[in-house]
């Protein structure tokens, strides 16, 4: 039995968290044991399922830079009591040098996993770069959800070495098979049967760029007043986005759907998926949207590894909003089942990629 400890902020419904759960559901649990070290005391979205699958969840206080000594003490205390792991798989960057170093002092192998790319320029970026530089000399192995995510965090020397691998964000493709019946049922339930339905899935954070999305949708309203926007997710900027919607007087056209466990069902109800993120490692929801056969309109700086179907349309965030609007209006899909077949035969099929993750764990513990 190979015991793996995943270190992450909180097991809520986010991109990295959903990816971990997709692998956890499919991995051979007779050979690989997953536990979780999180930085929240509250019950999170996936906690119940984790326990049902046999995993343990441990909690320590969140790292905030100024509490460095206290945080390090808590991590030392944790590993003093729980050092029977073969691998620590780190998904949270800000404090990875702390928990990886302490884990390695007990002979535990460590993995650093990059879930984002194109970080932009900010104080957070500078801090991330400093942390990532030290990580290169601490961790045993490095994973990126895309090559760009690896390059931006670890640099070319690591990415071109035998210590790095791209692990695709695999999904259970069968859940995203387009279903006309579900589409009609959901559109009737939401009262949007005869509307042009635009959708977005993502946390309300700076990276996801909801402000830009609302501006585009407001321009769309001027030429297509029977369009609606469904927003799935939650986050620290949700109230700001709601205020923006109210100020534009489009609150009756925008539905805040919150966090749902069956987003794959709701993708059936959409006509167009919009994803103007400022930066992403890959964007697992784009793979899901393509599997559902949706046209996807995205920021042109996102990695080309996202492009699985011919329904991905790239536009610069600097382009006029009308260009985004025109692309929305021009997109047409003849057969939404085509996307399913393409994604099903790609490395993003979780049944294939879970074997890849198992191989990484096996090789690291040999």
Residue 71, SS3?
helix
pLDDT in tens, 202-227: 999 999 999 999 999 999 999 999 99
Task: Look at residue 264 and tell me whether its pLDDT is greater than 70.
Answer: yes
Which residue segments constitute the domains of the chain, with CATH numbers given? 2-170+348-365 (3.40.50.2000), 173-344 (3.40.50.2000)
Query: Beta strand 141-144 with 32-38: parallel, antiparallel or unpaired?
Result: unpaired
Task: Look at residue 129 and tell me whether its pLDDT is greater than 90.
Answer: no
Q: Name the average pLDDT for the chain.
A: 92
pLDDT in tens, 22-41: 999 999 999 999 999 999 99
Q: Is-contact 20 91, C-beta < 8 A?
A: yes
C-alpha dist (Å) from residue 169 to 26, 30, 133, 164, 305? 13, 22, 24, 16, 11
Band of the pLDDT at 282, cuts 50, 70, 90?
confident
pLDDT in tens, 88-97: 999 988 899 9
Q: Is-contact 61 71, C-beta < 8 A?
A: yes
């Amino acid at each position: 039995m190979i015991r793996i400890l995943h270190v992450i902020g909180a097991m809520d419904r986010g991109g990295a968290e959903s990816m971990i759960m997709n692998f956890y559901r499919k991995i051979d649990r007779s050979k690989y044991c997953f536990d979780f070290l999180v930085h929240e005391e509250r019950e999170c979205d996936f906690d119940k399922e984790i326990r049902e699958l046999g995993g343990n969840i441990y909690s320590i206080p969140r790292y905030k830079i100024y509490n460095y000594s206290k945080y390090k003490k808590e991590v030392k205390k944790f590993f003093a009591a729980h050092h029977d792991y073969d691998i620590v798989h780190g998904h949270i960057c800000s404090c990875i040098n702390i928990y990886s170093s302490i884990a390695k002092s007990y002979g535990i192998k460590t993995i650093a996993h990059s879930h984002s790319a194109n970080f932009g320029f900010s104080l957070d970026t500078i801090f991330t770069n400093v942390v990532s530089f030290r990580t290169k000399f601490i961790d045993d192995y490095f994973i990126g959800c895309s090559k760009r995510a690896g390059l931006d965090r670890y640099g070319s020397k690591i990415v071109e070495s035998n210590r790095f691998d791209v692990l695709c964000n695999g999904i259970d493709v069968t859940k995203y098979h387009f279903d006309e019946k579900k589409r009609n049922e959901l559109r009737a339930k939401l009262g949007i049967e005869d509307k042009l339905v635009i959708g977005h899935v993502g946390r309300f954070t700076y990276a996801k760029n909801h402000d830009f999305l609302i501006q585009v949708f407001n321009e769309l309203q001027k030429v297509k007043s029977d369009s609606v926007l469904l927003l799935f997710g939650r986050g620290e900027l949700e109230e700001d986005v709601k205020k923006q919607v109210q100020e534009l007087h489009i609150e009756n056209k925008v539905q805040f759907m919150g966090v749902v466990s069956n987003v794959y069902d709701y993708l059936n109800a959409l006509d167009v998926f919009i994803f103007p993120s400022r930066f992403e490692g890959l964007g697992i929801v784009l793979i899901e949207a393509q599997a559902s056969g949706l046209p996807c309109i995205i920021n042109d700086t996102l990695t080309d590894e996202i492009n699985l179907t011919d329904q991905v349309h790239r536009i610069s965030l600097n382009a006029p909003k009308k260009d985004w609007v025109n692309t929305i209006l021009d997109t047409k899909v003849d057969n939404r089942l085509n996307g399913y077949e393409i994604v099903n035969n790609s490395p993003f099929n979780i049944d294939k990629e879970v074997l890849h993750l198992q191989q990484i764990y096996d090789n690291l513990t040999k």
